[in-house]
């Protein structure tokens, strides 16, 4: 319940929508009780008057008008209640998805490395959607049921008090005891359903994303076996929930007529007239309209609480890097100095970086080289503040990097790496990730600078062309140029390049580097840190720092070092 209360608090901005929906649900239920009970009384009273020969004296206009009024009120109320409660739920779920994103964003990439992509997707979609039961099926039906029970109690207390214990007793069994039993028996099945659905989505995601490699190594059968196992668990959970629902449905189907018989029989036994006895019976019968939603909500209790727990767990993960309580002013300079930095990834035994010191002045072009695993990319992750070092300090413009606001410090850097991370959207949307306010002229200018304007113009819809998942509908070289153009749109003073030309042919690489040179030369204060294994990129550097197993083994002028340093000669034998 603690997790459910947490998400109820998140709905506070839309509490008036929920209250209005609950009020309309209660009015709709009252109209339904009035319609059925008045109709039963009217029919019975008409029959009694007819048998007594007093049909002409019976005032049927008043009763028939009441029936029509209740029928119209129930129809309008039901429509309005659906409109309002769904509007409230959609508003709350939209806000909840934003809350999930705001919660997850600070955790990336450091704290999300252990989570499977499919599992994270399940939390954002499946678990958020499951919480509609909390707002739509818990809050509103409980309010309506309490209101209906109070109304029925008052009416029966005045007109047929003898029927009150039996009617309320059966209603309490159906609306309190039965939901508690349903929640208890269906809880584990609901939790299993949530977990198995998440596992199934994660397995399917892995299968799709790695399908080429799985087929190449003949591993598809093993992944399919995992899928079948998760699917079997999902089917078993659904079967158990269906069994509970079937039992509850049968009990409710029996309880409603039993309640009618009790209400009618107890009222008649106490000496009430036939019309009043019918009214008591039909009040009891109509009241059961409020019991069914409570039972259905209880059946989903396990699933809802499991989803709430999975979402709440995201907020309990501490981010690797947080904003300082009182951020320091952003300095005007953007030179970088790394002082004796050591860093180790979580749950690893060896340091990725150990006592690393280097500097990148304004206007500098520093190449960071070393064998795979030497710590080059780790250093870039520290500059982007995806992680924080365990010791040492990184300075930006003379100010400690960890004393600056995250967004402001990251705005000083633009990152282009070998993966060229592009979203499954249009060229325009990918470029505007760097600056949502960039106009068309600025986007085309960035594409021109990156040498990408010509091929974008040839695309079917230009900037509006959909480029597919991770840019899968364009070539690797084109994706790399769009990533570089995005960096130009951002116009950050420090450009971080992590193997940006890996896998490109010589001409594409040369065009890429020419575009880079032109951009850097436009402002003498612009600087770049280049992580590379490629000789062409090393030629662009003025300074070189060589890393080996997380330590700086040599550093100095690029030309001098290329002639004398044995480690550099081993890494670049053609120098």
Residues in the chain: 575
User: Does residue 340 register a pLDDT over 90?
Assistant: yes
Q: Residue 255's closest CA among 370, 354, 173?
A: 173
Q: How far apart are CA 364 and CA 165, in angstroms?
A: 87
pTM of the model as a whole: 0.77
pLDDT at site 209:
73
pLDDT band at 448 (very low <50, low <70, confident <90, very high): confident
Q: Residue 431's closest CA among 412, 410, 445?
A: 445
Q: How far apart are CA 59 and CA 42, in angstroms?
A: 10
User: Does residue 514 register a pLDDT over 90?
Assistant: no
At 33-88, the pLDDT tens digits run 888 877 877 777 677 666 555 545 445 566 677 778 888 988 898 899 889 888 88
Range 547-569 average pLDDT: 79
User: Does residue 511 register a pLDDT over 70?
Assistant: yes
Q: How far apart are CA 177 and CA 295, in angstroms?
A: 10
Range 98-110 average pLDDT: 83
Q: Residue 111's closest CA among 309, 352, 388?
A: 388
DSSP at 169: H
Range 19-31 average pLDDT: 87
At 75-92, the pLDDT tens digits run 898 899 889 888 888 888
DSSP at 523: -
For the chain, the C-alpha Rg in angstroms (whole number) is 35
User: Does residue 469 register a pLDDT over 80?
Assistant: no
Do β-strands 543-548 and 399-400 pair in parallel, antiparallel, or remain unpaired?
unpaired
pLDDT at site 50:
63
Q: Residue 489's closest CA among 481, 497, 477?
A: 481
Q: What is the mean pLDDT of the chain?
A: 83
Residue-wise over 68-98: b if at least 16 C-beta within 10 A, else e? eebbebbeebbebbeebbeebbebbbeebee
Range 191-199 average pLDDT: 82
Q: How far apart are CA 62 and CA 277, in angstroms?
A: 19
Which one is predicted more confidently, 16 or 563? 16
- CA angle, residues 325, 407, 341, in degrees to nearest 5: 75
Which one is predicted more confidently, 382 or 196? 382
Q: How far apart are CA 174 and CA 505, in angstroms?
A: 73
Catalogue all structural domains in the chain, each as residue range(s) with its CATH number: 2-51+61-315 (1.20.1560.10), 336-571 (3.40.50.300)
Distances (CA, A) of 271 to 159, 268, 276, 359, 441: 11, 5, 10, 98, 88
Do β-strands 399-400 and 391-396 pair in parallel, antiparallel, or remain unpaired?
antiparallel
- Classify the phi-psi angles of 396: left when phi > 0, otherwise alpha if psi is within -120 to 50, otherwise beta: beta
User: Does residue 237 register a pLDDT over 90?
Assistant: no
């Amino acid at each position: 319940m603690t997790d459910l209360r947490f998400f109820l608090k998140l709905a506070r901005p839309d509490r008036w929508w929920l209250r209005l929906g609950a009020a309309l649900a209660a009015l709709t239920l009252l109209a339904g009780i009035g319609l059925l009970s008045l109709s039963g009384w009217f029919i019975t009273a008409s029959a009694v008057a007819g048998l007594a020969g007093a049909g002409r004296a019976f005032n049927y206009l008043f009763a028939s008008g009441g029936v029509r009024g209740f029928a119209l009120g129930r129809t309008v109320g039901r429509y309005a209640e659906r409109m309002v409660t769904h509007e409230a739920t959609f508003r709350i779920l939209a806000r909840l998805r934003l809350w999930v994103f705001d919660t997850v964003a600070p955790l990336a990439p450091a704290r999300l490395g252990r989570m499977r992509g499919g599992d994270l997707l399940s939390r954002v979609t499946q678990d958020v959607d499951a919480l509609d039961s909390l707002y739509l099926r818990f809050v509103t039906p409980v309010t309506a049921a309490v209101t209906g029970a109070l109304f029925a109690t008052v009416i029966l207390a005045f007109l047929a008090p003898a029927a009150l214990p039996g009617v309320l007793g059966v209603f309490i069994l159906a609306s309190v005891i039965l939901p508690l039993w349903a929640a208890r028996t269906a809880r584990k099945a609901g939790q299993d359903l949530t977990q198995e659905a998440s596992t199934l989505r994660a397995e399917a995601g892995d299968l799709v994303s790695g399908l080429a490699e799985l087929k190449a190594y003949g591993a598809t059968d093993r992944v399919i076996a995992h899928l079948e196992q998760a699917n079997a668990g999902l089917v078993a959970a659904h079967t158990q929930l269906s069994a509970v629902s079937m039992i509850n449905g049968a009990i409710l189907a029996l309880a409603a007529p039993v309640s009618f018989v009790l209400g009618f029989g107890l009222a008649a036994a106490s000496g009430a007239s036939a019309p009043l006895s019918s009214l008591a019976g039909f009040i009891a019968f109509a009241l059961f309209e409020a019991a069914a939603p409570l039972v259905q909500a209880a059946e989903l209790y396990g699933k809802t609480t499991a989803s709430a727990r999975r979402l709440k767990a995201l907020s309990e993960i501490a981010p690797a890097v947080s904003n300082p309580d009182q951020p320091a002013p952003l300095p005007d300079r953007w030179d970088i100095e790394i002082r004796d930095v050591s860093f180790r990834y979580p749950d690893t035994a060896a340091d990725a970086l150990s006592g690393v010191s280097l500097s990148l002045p304004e206007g500098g072009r520093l190449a960071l080289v070393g064998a795979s695993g030497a710590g080059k990319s780790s250093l870039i992750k520290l500059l982007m503040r995806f992680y924080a070092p365990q010791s040492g300090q990184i300075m930006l413009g003379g100010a400690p990097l960890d004393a600056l606001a995250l967004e402001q410090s990251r705005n000083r850097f633009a990152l282009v790496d070998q993966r060229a991370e592009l979203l499954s959207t249009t060229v325009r949307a990918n470029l505007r990730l760097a600056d949502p306010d960039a106009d068309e002229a600025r986007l085309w200018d960035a594409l021109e600078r990156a040498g990408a304007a010509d091929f974008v113009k040839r695309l079917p819809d230009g900037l509006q062309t959909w480029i597919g998942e991770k840019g899968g509908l364009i070539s690797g070289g084109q994706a790399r140029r769009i990533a570089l153009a995005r960096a130009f749109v951002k116009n950050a003073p420090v450009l971080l390049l992590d193997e940006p030309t890996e896998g490109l042919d010589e001409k594409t690489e040369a065009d890429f580097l020419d575009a880079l040179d032109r951009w850097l030369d436009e402002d003498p204060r612009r600087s770049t840190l280049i992580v590379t294994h490629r000789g062409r990129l090393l030629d662009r550097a003025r300074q070189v720092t060589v890393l080996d197993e997380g330590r700086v083994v040599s550093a100095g002028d690029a030309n001098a070092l290329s002639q004398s340093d044995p480690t550099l000669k081993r890494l670049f034998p053609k120098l």
